[in-house]
Amino acid sequence: MTGLEWTTQEDRLLKVAEWMGVPTQRIAIETIVSTGCFVEKSQPSKCCLAISADSLRRLYQSTQPALLKIFIEEQCEELLVFGCTDHLRHSTVLSWLTAGAISGITAPKAIEVFQLPYTGQAFSRQLASLTFSTAHTVSTPTFELDSSTSEVLPIISGDGRPMFVATKQNSCQMFLLSGAEIVDIHEPVNGDRAVEDRYDQIIPILIVLHHCFGSFCWHSPHRTARFIIDDPLLTRKYGFLTYKELLSSMRSADYGTSIAFIPWNYRRTTRRAAADLFEGRPNLSICIHGCDHTNKEFATSEKGVLDWKGNLGLQRMKTHETRTDVPFEPVMVFPQGQFSSSALLALRTNNYLAAVNTTCFPTDEQNVLTIADFLRPAITRFHGFPLFQRRYPKRLVDCAFDIFLGKPTLLVEHHQYFQHGYEVLERFVRELRNLEPALSWPTLSSQLMKSCVTRQVSGNSAEVQFFTSQFQFQNGIEGCDHLLLTKYEPDSSVVRTVLLDGISVPFYVEKDYLHLEVNTTAGQSIRIEIVDNPEAPRPTNSYCSLQYNARVRLRRELSEFRDNRLVRYPRLLKAAKRLLKRLKLTGE
Ligand SMILES: [Zn+2]
């Protein structure tokens, strides 16, 4: 519901709802004020109503409060009142709305830590009992509650004072949100904490939408995680990583690991070591970490170099697989986390499944992504190729945010993480499982090619948005026999055909999304493959010279010397890092 002026905050709220797949309708309160009639003919019989505290106050003052109350409690299944900021303006109407349970609003105070108390778990789900801080302290007003009643449930508090609460009046589930700002999800963001630093604005709206619309709002049926270790050779031991201990830890704490393997090392795994590590252990796998692992090797924008590197990395992994019988996952982890947008195109051209990276910002396109991009399991903005975000296992709340949104929880570390054993990781895994007991740890390729969001459109129809060119889906939506599958494809001219279970099927592209309709039965599994047009034959340039090869070898030898020897002598390690930097050989 909006006032005479369509405010920025109302506009932003509707944009979040639309991005999350929720149908919206704007109702002007002035119509109600002038006619005194609360229900329009076009209005659904029941709805989730969002209204600012200012508009609610105007309705309260301009209409008969008794009629307003009947409308809210009988027509609105859920109500969100946002923009509760001012004690003088809003406390009377909020107290009336909540039958006195909210007695006032405090003046804005700088908040250091936000809490999601366990008592709000029915709403905040995996985020319950966690805390977060933003990079800059946020000044926010909070609610004053009537201490004689427990009718109001805090979902988010700021320094212990409730700022986002739930309460029920008759059959209406109410949410009240303090603070003036609603997040602008289409605002370009940059920097790796751009989304995390807006949790105080993003999380309340997502909680309301998920609670009110459930399966009718974009959500994911999957809860998956994977631990990724960058760089190690497949030998008995690499730096502080001892595979025997890792495997034992994986067994006892029940998690799965992918080794981000450097293709340059493809001749260095013995058949014996491969058998020792991988035979009968589906929970350990390898993916691709660069090609030569040189400095910023995928950060260039030179298409020829990127295509050559992408292809060479893949060929080396295939040779490694033939030699050792260790299959690999066609998933790229970029060395030093650096990549250009053209690198993602090179991966697409070479039939990689996906990229997994700590940063999602390409070196050449810094202001393109928006918060909205991070509310989907993968970012496909660049050439339609999926980029999945991974994180260091530090802040549990970030993983909970990913699980809440249905993103795969992808964790990354290096061998140094195991300097004091495996207990730290095991504890983190246990904490993740406490947040989401259904969390599973399939291989990267398995979980990424099933990654999707779905939303029910009607009783028997659902929409499925997927991200990888090879996609597997099991129809677990009750009563649903018709699926509309969509994937972001900004340049549809590259798509040659779409296969459903191996057979070419019709598709169409509308507003940069590829669409495909499928009739299924409950429980049925389908496989979709988007096949691109073949590329022109690639030039035979190898882009390497004797000098280049010598530098690659030197770099690997120095890196391994650092990881296996120097790492145990901190002062020597510092000096070595300085030397590597001078030789431009640094990086993880
Ligand atoms: Zn690395």
Domain ranges of the chain: 8-214, 225-447, 452-532, 546-582
For ligand 1, the distance from its centroid to the CA atom of residue 30, given in whole angstroms, is: 60
Ligand 1 geometric centre to CA of 356 (Å): 13
Handedness of CA 362, 365, 367, 372 (dihedral sign): negative
How many Å lie between the centroid of ligand 1 and the Cα of residue 333?
Answer: 8
Tokens of 485: 């599958």
Rounded CA separation 93/57 (Å):
6
Q: Is 103 within 8 Å of 91 (Cβ atoms)?
A: yes
The pairing of strands 241-242 and 237-238 is antiparallel
CATH 3.40.50 fits 8-214, yes or no: yes
The residue among 168, 324, 152, 351 whose CA lies nearest residue 235 is 324
Q: How far is the CA of 230 from the centre of ligand 1 (A)?
A: 5
**CATH number, span 452-532:** 2.60.40
C-alpha 492 to ligand 1 mean position (Å): 33
| Cross-strand pairs, 387 | 355, 379
225-447: CATH superfamily: Glycoside hydrolase/deacetylase (3.20.20.370)
Q: Are 182 and 147 in contact (CB under 8 A)?
A: no
CA 295–ligand 1 middle distance (angstroms) = 10
- For residue 300 the two structure tokens come to 């260039």
Radius of gyration for the alpha carbons in the chain, expressed in angstroms and rounded: 27
Quick one: which of 47, 53, 103 has its CA closest to 72? 47
| 392 vs 383: CA distance, rounded Å | 27
* 92: Cβ contacts below 8 Å, ≥ 6 apart: 57, 60
Instruction: Compute the distance from residue 359 Cα to the ligand 1 centre, in Å.
Output: 14
Are 38 and 9 in contact by the 8 Å Cβ rule? The answer is: no
Number of H helices, E strands in the chain: 16, 29
SS (H, E, C) 464-531: EEECCCEEEEECCCCCCCEEEEEEECCCHHHEEEEEECCEECCCEEECCEEEEEEECCCCCEEEEEEE
Strands (E), 124-224: 130-132, 138-140, 143-145, 153-158, 161-169, 172-178
- Distance between Cα 499 and ligand 1 center (Å): 35
Beta sheet of 503-504, edge-to-edge order: 470-474, 525-532, 495-500, 503-504
How far away, in angstroms, is 447 Cα from ligand 1 center? 22
User: What are the residue ranges of helices labelled H in 279-383?
Assistant: 303-324, 341-349
Please give the distance, rounded to the nearest whole angstrom, from the Cα atom of residue 588 to the centre of ligand 1: 4
User: Cα(285) to centroid of ligand 1, in Å?
Assistant: 17
- Token pair 């998956």 is found at 224
CA of 563 to the centre of ligand 1 (A): 11
CA of 585 to the centre of ligand 1 (A): 12
Report CA(250)–ligand 1 centroid distance (Å).
22
Separation of 366 CA from ligand 1 center, angstroms?
22
Task: Give 156 Cα–ligand 1 centroid separation in angstroms.
Answer: 38
Going from the Cα of 540 to the center of ligand 1, the distance in angstroms, rounded, reads 27
Q: How far does the centroid of ligand 1 lie from the alpha carbon of residue 373, in Å?
A: 26
Around ion ligand 1, which residues have CB less than 5 A away? 230-231, 335, 588
Three-class SS state of 132: strand
Cβ atoms of 490 and 512 closer than 8 Å: yes
Whether 362 and 344 have beta carbons less than 8 Å apart is answered as yes
- Other C-beta atoms lying within 10 Å of the C-beta of residue 5: 7
Residue 286 CA, ligand 1 centroid: distance in Å: 13
How much distance in Å is there from the Cα of 334 to the middle of ligand 1? 7
Q: Show the tokens assigned to 380.
A: 């496909």
Span from the CA of 149 to the centroid of ligand 1 (angstroms): 56
Cα–Cα distance for residue pair 379/388, rounded to 1 Å: 6
The pLDDT profile of the chain, 588 residues, written as one tens digit per residue, is 777 678 999 999 999 999 999 988 888 877 776 666 666 655 555 688 999 999 999 989 988 888 888 888 888 899 999 999 999 999 999 999 999 999 999 999 999 999 999 999 999 999 999 999 988 888 999 999 987 777 899 999 999 999 999 999 888 999 999 988 899 999 999 877 889 999 999 999 999 999 999 999 999 989 999 999 999 999 999 999 999 999 999 999 999 999 999 999 999 999 999 999 998 876 999 999 999 998 889 999 999 999 999 999 999 999 999 999 999 999 999 999 999 999 999 999 999 999 999 999 999 987 899 999 999 999 999 999 999 999 999 999 999 999 999 999 999 999 999 999 999 999 999 999 999 999 999 999 999 999 999 999 988 999 999 999 999 999 998 888 999 999 999 998 999 999 999 999 999 999 999 999 999 998 899 999 999 998 766 665 666 777 777 777 777 777 777 777 777 777 777 777 777 676 665 555
**Residue in 202, 260, 249 with CA at minimum distance from that of residue 410:** 260
CA-to-CA dists, residue 506 to 277, 340, 521, 548, 558, angstroms: 44, 33, 19, 47, 53
- Going from the Cα of 275 to the center of ligand 1, the distance in angstroms, rounded, reads 24
Q: State in Å: Cα 581 to ligand 1 middle.
A: 15
Q: Please tell me the distance between residue 336's alpha carbon and the centre of ligand 1 in angstroms.
A: 6
CA of 231 to the centre of ligand 1 (A): 5
Give the DSSP letter string of 59-89. Answer: HHHHS-HHHHHHHHHHHEEEEEEEEE--HHH
